[in-house]
Amino acid sequence: MAIQWFPGHMNKAKKALQELSEEIDIVIELLDARAPFSSCNPLIQNIIRFKRTIRILNKSDLADPEVSKVWLEYFNQQENTLAILGDKDNKKQRDKIIQLCKKLAPARGTSFEKPLRVMITGIPNVGKSTLINQLVGKKAAKTGDVPAVTKANQRLYLNDTFVIFDTPGMMWQKIRYPQIGYHLAICNSIGRNALDEELLALYLIELLQTSKYQAGFSARYKLKPEHLTLSPDNLLDLLANKRGCMITGGKIDRQKISEIVIQDFRSGKMGVISLETPELWEQWISEFVESEEQETAQEEARIHPEYEYSEEEQKTNKPNTHNGKK
Ligand SMILES: Nc1nc2c(ncn2[C@@H]2O[C@H](COP(=O)(O)OP(=O)(O)OP(=O)(O)O)[C@@H](O)[C@H]2O)c(=O)[nH]1
Ligand SMILES: [Mg+2]
């Protein structure tokens, strides 16, 4: 299943973000600490390319701290970027972010005529408006635990010389790697109408039963070690039985148990969990490239059935494009 979600208002939001980016000094991009690579929006990257950027791995209270440390190193190696962890309940974060902004643009924020202008961007539901409310010290921006609460840019003032812009959560038109779609959906950044909760739950269960997060998963649902070796499909049925998710006639309510498992993950009921690491992404990308190459080779074979493949090409399933035959 390839998850894609780019509702109409985001096209307008993209243009507005482009315009706004021309008049701001600093960009704060919020990433979801549980899925930092998946939450890096290529559309936003393109728009903010030349801007000084602070990347906040937000909702870090729900992510595995060991993995977050690795991600921080990964992002801090990138040009023009400073990465920190974010957590709405961290009392020190407001002052830290304000200081960082001032440090990155020392010539701004010095007078009413030269305010420091900061734009907060990121995927839907990652916590942009919540952070803005924390920065300005009051509930000025609307928040809520569903994607696409903010629909248009909003200007807010920390004081006369510090302006912050809230922006709508942005997705992009085509998600290339299926894992990105799954991870964003599991973290609640994709609209419900674009999802199949049962497939999401099966993906999540497979990840949990085979990962270092087995213990938290087992504890939540009182699983025995042998349950972890069941297929995700059978394990979902077992969880449904344990939670009494049945529909009339004694049939299993897979939709209901799927929603429960996803919600338990989102609210941290199985412990702190990170869905991805830089190492895993390296592996997924190389697997993806390999499968794309195989598809291209098969397509070529279909188009040129008369082409005589060498022994080596037949073995690797890749046409030799360097020998002048093609
Ligand atoms: N656990 C946790 N929840 C957070 C954190 N920051 C925000 N949230 C919650 O995430 C949900 C979404 O927050 P918003 O601030 O509305 O997110 P947004 O990025 O503005 O969302 P859109 O406007 O829809 O794009 C709310 O329920 C917040 O309480 C955090 O650091 N940790
Ligand atoms: Mg918002």
pLDDT, tens digit, for every residue of 22-65?
999 999 999 999 999 999 999 999 988 889 999 999 999 999 99
State the pTM of this model: 0.90
Domain termination site, one of 217, 250, 266: 266
From the list 38, 41, 33, the residue with the least C-alpha distance to 17 is: 41
Boundary of a domain, candidates 213, 235, 266? 266
Task: Please determine, for residue 185, whether its predicted confidence score (pLDDT) is greater than 80.
Answer: yes
Give the position, in ligand 1's atom list, of the atom nearest the Cα of 60: 31
Task: Judge if 31 and 160 occupy the same domain.
Answer: yes
Question: What's the pLDDT score for residue 307?
Answer: 66
Same domain, 13 and 161: yes
274 C-alpha to ligand 2 centroid (Å) = 23
Residue whose CA is at the smallest distance from ligand 1 atom 10? 127
Residue 189 has pLDDT above 60, yes or no: yes
Testing ligand 1's pocket by substitution, the residue of 5, 32, 125, 274 carrying the most ligand atoms inside 8 A of its CB is 125
> Residue 57 in contact with residue 72, Cβ under 8 Å?
yes
Together in a domain, 206 and 85: no
Domain harbouring 140, CATH code: 3.40.50.300
The pairing of strands 246-247 and 251-252 is antiparallel
Q: Does residue 143 sit in the same domain as residue 54?
A: yes
pLDDT one-digit tens code per residue, 5-26: 999 899 999 999 999 999 999 9
Pick the atom of ligand 1 nearest to 87's CA.
31
Distance, in Å, from the CA atom of 148 to the CA atom of 36, rounded to the nearest integer, reads 19
Structural domain span for residue 208: 196-266
Per residue in 144-171, pLDDT tens? 999 999 999 999 999 999 999 999 999 9
